[in-house]
Structure 1
Amino acid sequence: MTTTKKLAKVSKNKPTKLAAIVVAAVLALLVVVLVAQWMRTLPAVQCFMADYPGHTELPAGAPTGLPAWLGWQHFLNAFFILLIIRSGWQVRTITRPKANWTRNNKGLIRTKNPPSKISLDLWFHLTMDALWVLNGIVFMVLLMATGQWMRIVPTSWDIIPNALSAALQYASLSWPTENGWLNYNALQVLAYFTTVYIAAPLALATGLRMSGAWPKNAVKLNKVYPIELARAIHFPVMLYFVFFIIVHVTLVLATGALRNLNHMYASRDDGSWVGFWIFAASLAVMIAAWFLARPLFLRPVASLTGKVSR
């Protein structure tokens, strides 16, 4: 069989495999819903859900509502992580980059050895990483200073049974009654805690190990923390962020879109359209950035700090 015929056969099989995956996923979700609805008819499960309704009480002194700074932090985090995922996927999949970048060995960053050449995609990925980390530091400081951390950090062990209860309610399509302005349900708390305090630090630690900034001659340190371990963790962390974004956006829109968007973008607890229009504007900015993040537009920016070449 010729190469052309093989490629044609592979391309024909792709839609079939994708359709099979979609059908299998839909059937699996249907089974989950039916099983969850059946479980909720059991007396023991009903007693469990009565004892653990799906949310825990916040600590004394926890703030009410979402401040304005959390709205613009939410946008910046979403903006940077979107471009990080895009550029990271390009670094992982593109074997022949359209352009490369070499750092100018002057100014604040100077090294004895000449800078190494990297792809323009990797330069963009590292640049977005740096901005995301800087924004994350501001985010963490504000969380601690305003007490908002108490809304996303588990403070009692009953978070676990309450999270199981909330998960069962979601799975049965009888979603938990909630008001994110006052208190997140237990499953949300665990998801936000995992994202902010586990996934984000893991992304930073593994990305730093894989970057050129890591000391290559630190033999003992490299033995304790091999680059293979960082690579094995970094990609699954990216997949976690993709999964979190999909689920997060879906539930925001499906559980009272206007009120949720007002919480997140307008710092108000009502059903007006203010938050929606702010969200729409931020979405337009992210879509524009997605399409502008290509060599034609990245070259002029990258050339400010290094040499761009083929």
Structure 2
Amino acid sequence: MSTPAKNKSGSSNRWAKPAMVGAGVVLVLLVLVLAARWFTGLDGVKSWMVTYPGQSELPATAPVGFPAWLGWQHFLNVFFIVLIIRSGWQVRTSKRPPAHWIRNNKGLIKTNNPPTKISLDLWFHLSLDALWVLNGLIFIIVILATGQWLRIVPTSWDVFPNAVSAGLQYLSLNWPTENGWVNYNSLQLLTYFLTVFIAAPLAILTGIRMSGAWPKNAKALNRAYPIELARRVHFPVMLYFVLFIIVHVTLVLATGALRNLNHMYGSSDAVNWWGFGIFAFSLLVIVGAWFAARPLFLRPIASLTGKVSK
């Protein structure tokens, strides 16, 4: 009779800490919102926000709208990054991998390092990384060729005070006017710049250092760039991507879901359900891939480039 009571107490204790953390986060957010509303109500701040409304002017040559190729790039990037986060978490937390993979030296990709047996989860993670990097390279080349880079790279110093202004507007729940079809607000612009040109390269450079493709016998290079440094940076970068996805999706749905989804999935500034339908279908594809990423389906694919063993 005493065991159920003990289990009940243990269950309660298990949820007590998350509940307290959640309550603390809500309280901090409430205080910040009230402080932001008070601060933005001051006359001096109001005048400053008229000067810096939250959006910098783009160069006259900046393109307007989102072409269809950008929608495909967006979907592929989401598809890969979600599975990369999943597989990376499995690599970090799994104690007994379901299977192992070892490289086939007769394959197209060869390195100076001898083949090393790795977990199937790590093979999946590295394979996804390669596809994500390829997609990213295509993205960078095309935005440079089409001028789309002007929408996510700061071109004037007033982007910084405008970003502060946009942040205050978000925090005070008096959100800035959204017109992403023409121009992002400055906080969005800086966030996208940070994600594309800083966080993504950091993920790639630290991932390469931790992978089997890194030259193990390059002693001077390994001393200059130790693997411990790469590990300390790689995980926080993953957490950044998780936070970015949560905030990004929340704001997309909360600031005019139909129009925003049409921008990225329907290549249109109209307010209809077309973009939402494509987005919903893409979610089904991602969820299906999430559940299909199991040893049963991964083993035959991995065996095409190496030997898989239990």
- AA aligned to 2:218 is A
Q: Bigger shift: 209-218 or 11-20?
A: 11-20
- AA aligned to 1:189 is L
State the partner residue of 2:177: 177
Q: CA deviation at 1:162?
A: 0.3
1:109-163 per-position Cα deviation (integer Å, ceiling 9, x unaligned) = 3457641110000000000000000000100011101000000000111111000
State the partner residue of 1:241: 241
TM-score when scaled to structure 1? 0.96
1:14-61 per-position Cα deviation (integer Å, ceiling 9, x unaligned) = 211111111111111111110111111111111110110000000120
Q: C-alpha distance in 2, partners of 1:262/1:109?
A: 40
- Superposition pairs of residues 131-280 of structure 1, within 5 angstroms: 131-280=131-280
- AA aligned to 2:173 is L
Q: C-alpha distance in 2, partners of 1:282/1:201?
A: 26
Is it true that 1:309 corresponds to 2:309 in the alignment? yes
1:49-83 per-position Cα deviation (integer Å, ceiling 9, x unaligned) = 01100000001200011111100000000000000
In structure 2, runs of 5+ residues without a counterpart are none
1:223-262 per-position Cα deviation (integer Å, ceiling 9, x unaligned) = 1111111011000000000000000000000000000000
Q: Bigger shift: 260-269 or 38-47?
A: 38-47
Is it true that 1:88 corresponds to 2:61 in the alignment? no
CA RMSD of aligned residues (A): 1.6
Q: C-alpha distance in 2, partners of 1:113/1:154?
A: 41
The DSSP-based 3-state class of the residue aligned with 1:59 is: coil
Q: C-alpha distance in 2, partners of 1:202/1:128?
A: 16
Is it true that 1:18 corresponds to 2:5 in the alignment? no
Task: Describe the shift of the 1:53–1:100 C-alpha distance in structure 2 as closer, same or farther (beyond 3 A).
Answer: same
Q: Does structure 1 retain, via aligned residues, the 8 Å contact 2:113–2:215?
A: no
Q: C-alpha distance in 2, partners of 1:243/1:41?
A: 29
The DSSP-based 3-state class of the residue aligned with 2:102 is: strand
1:178-232 per-position Cα deviation (integer Å, ceiling 9, x unaligned) = 2000000000000000000000000000000000100111111111111111011
- AA aligned to 2:209 is R
Give the fraction of aligned pairs with identical amino acids, expressed as a percent. 70
The DSSP-based 3-state class of the residue aligned with 1:102 is: strand
Q: C-alpha distance in 2, partners of 1:145/1:226?
A: 36
The DSSP-based 3-state class of the residue aligned with 2:307 is: strand
Q: C-alpha distance in 2, partners of 1:190/1:128?
A: 26
State the partner residue of 1:60: 60
State the partner residue of 1:116: 116
Task: Describe the shift of the 1:96–1:261 C-alpha distance in structure 2 as closer, same or farther (beyond 3 A).
Answer: same
Q: C-alpha distance in 2, partners of 1:110/1:206?
A: 20
Is it true that 1:100 corresponds to 2:100 in the alignment? yes
State the partner residue of 2:76: 76
Q: CA deviation at 1:104?
A: 1.3
Q: Bigger shift: 253-262 or 218-227?
A: 218-227
Q: C-alpha distance in 2, partners of 1:237/1:28?
A: 24
TM-score when scaled to structure 2? 0.96
